[in-house]
Amino acid sequence: MLAFEDIVHAFEVPVFNLAYRMVNNRDDAADVSQEIFVKLFRAIRQFRGESKFSTWLFSLAANTCRSRLRRLRRISFFEARHIDEERETDSGSRTRELPDPSDGPVRMMERGEMRHEIERAVAALQPDWRMVVVLRDLQGLRYEEIAGILNCSVGTVKSRLSRARSKLKERLIRKGLSCSAGK
């Protein structure tokens, strides 16, 4: 059990973040993370070392997230809409400020607007694309690892990643946030 807790501590951050980005809810993410680690413990004897342990774990996590999404019928689009509303933060409740198109990206990044807008845009992606973006750009996995996790080809990973990024970029441009290209 001690070794298992080591595993949990080693992977809880990436697993929880993957779950959080997929279900867009902290409580659900915690529950999904628990479920992932419980499944991992019960199925750990099935790990035959054919892939990296992290790949196997992320594969388990991705499948669990998909199942939870199907169960919750939670579409990130609605969650993204909630992000516009008043949010509870550590410093209290606050409403998001509207971005000023005249601000440069550096200023926006300083204000955190860029990050929040990107989070919202990621949450609005369809699950398959979102999964690839999270694994690649947030988790930093390689294409081959992502292909192994999602049980698809590297070409599929590239395609999904390209489309997801393009979608994010268009959304950010529409919002006037990613306008550095024109300046």
Partner 1 sequence: MSEHVDGRLDPEHERLLSEHLAACPDCRRELEALQATVAGLREIPPVEPPADLARSVRARLERPSLPVLAWQVLSLPQTRVAVAAGIALVIGFLSLREMAQRGPEDCARPVPGPGRAPGKPAPAALPMPHTGDEAPAPQPLESAPELKRVGEPARETAPVGGSVDAVREAGRRRAADAAATRPAKAGKRLPEADRHVGTVPQQPKTEGRPGNAVIKGRGRRSFGRGSAEANGRVWGSKAPAPRPEEARKSGTGLSVGPATPVAPLRDAHARSLTPFAAPAGAGAPDSEAGAAPQGMTTPRPFPAMRARAGADRAVVREIAVVSADPAAVRARILAWQRRDKTARAAEEPKLKKETALGAAVTRAETVAERAGVVEIDLPSGDADRLVAELRELGTVSFGVEEQALRDSAARYPARKKQDAAAQQVRVVTLRITIRKARPPSRPAD
**What residues line the site for partner 1 (CB under 8 A)?**
1, 5, 8-9, 12-17, 20, 26, 29-30, 33-34, 37-38, 41, 105, 109, 114-115, 118-119, 122, 133, 136-138, 140, 143, 158, 161-162, 165-166, 168-169, 172-173, 178-182
156: part of which helix (H) or strand (E)? helix 154-174
Residue by residue, what is the 3-state secondary structure of 43-105? Answer: HHHHCCCCCCHHHHHHHHHHHHHHHHHHHHCCCHHHHHHHHCCCEEECCEEECCCCCCCCCCH
CB 135 within 8 A of CB 58: yes
Residue 62 CA to residue 69 CA, distance in Å, equals 10
Amino acid at 89: T
Kindly tell me which of 49 and 140 has the beta carbon lying closer to partner 1: 140
By beta-carbon proximity to partner 1, the closer residue of 50 and 102 is: 102
Q: Which is nearer to partner 1, 20 or 58 (CB)?
A: 20
Q: What is the largest CA-CA distance in the chain?
A: 57
Closer residue to partner 1 in complex, CB, 27/50: 27
Residue 14 beta carbon to partner 1: minimum distance, rounded to whole angstroms = 8
Between 50 and 131, name the residue whose CB sits nearer to partner 1. 131
| Cα–Cα distance measured from residue 102 to residue 104, given in angstroms and rounded to the nearest whole number | 6
Q: How far is the CB of 26 from partner 1 (least distance, A)?
A: 8
**Could you give the C-alpha distances from 126 to 27, 121, 157, 173, in angstroms and in order?**
21, 10, 14, 19
Q: How far is the CB of 162 from partner 1 (least distance, A)?
A: 4
- Is the Cβ of residue 66 or residue 137 nearer to partner 1 in the bound state? 137
What is the closest distance, in whole angstroms, from the C-beta atom of residue 10 to partner 1 in the complex? 10
Residues 6 or more apart in contact with residue 85 via CB below 8 angstroms = 95
Least distance (Å) between residue 101 CB and partner 1: 14
Q: Please report how close the Cβ of residue 133 comes to partner 1 at its closest, in angstroms.
A: 7
